[in-house]
Amino acid sequence: MRLTGSVVLVTGASSGIGAALVRRLTRAGSHVLAVGRDPDRLDRIATETGAIPLLADLSRPDAAGQLAARAMERYGRVDVLVNNAGVGWAGPFGTMPAERAEEVLAVNLRAPVELTRALLPGMCDRGGHLVFVGSIAGRLGVAEEAVYAASKAGLDTFARSLRLESACRRVGVTVVVPGVVQTAFFERRGRPYHRDRPRAIPPDRVAAAVADAIVRNQAEVYLPAWLRVPVAVQGLLPAVYRRLASRFG
């Protein structure tokens, strides 16, 4: 997939990984539709990069379909869809407000499914690429982030299942599995990240990996790469993994 001249829709584009990806893609010559729900931050990234800002709240049931329609009105096509928007919540599951659980599931899972459903048929005709920004939490499970981990696990399985379908062989599918990234995500979820290990990586590093994965049609990308190790241990030696997880968190 060529980035130059491609129309790329990036959700969660007003900060963090999304903003870094908008910067990288516009530098590569892509026509970027930057989607976010913070109008001030979205306008700043659009002014900085020349991307087209699209304000949308993906927690709303009808937001994904409307967003797809607006993207098609602007360019008539979307070549690459980056499902990056995500929200979290940290704390014991029994204390999680119902409305927060609904928001996490809506933004992290329902919206990507609906947005993909709206844009995939055109990609099947022309060729294209789908990117799903997951989380190591979705591969392993994380204590006191049960709904967030479940939403990312669902997104992960959805993406891997799409890759197996034979109807759209011209559409590449990439799952990105980051660990801790230096963004405001942790503060917004209600619990800042204070651990020394694993060390947080900059969002620019994730953006570079995503852009490279699109060009090279990579099926999955772990960031950092060593995150494959605990996933392998969990798969091969689940009892050992559970003991290690209970001890080290």
CA dist 168 and 155 (Å) reads 19
Where residue 50 falls (left for φ over 0; alpha for ψ -120 to 50; beta otherwise) is: left
Give the active site residue among 75, 148, 222, 241.
148
Look up residue 198 and give its two tokens.
């694993």
CA dist 177 and 128 (Å) reads 21
CA dist 233 and 242 (Å) reads 10
Where residue 92 falls (left for φ over 0; alpha for ψ -120 to 50; beta otherwise) is: beta
Reply yes or no on whether 148 is catalytic. yes
Q: Strand locations in 6-149, DSSP E?
A: 7-10, 31-36, 52-55, 80-83, 128-133
Alpha carbon distances (Å) from 197 to 3, 162, 200, 248: 34, 34, 8, 10
Q: Which residues are catalytic?
A: 148
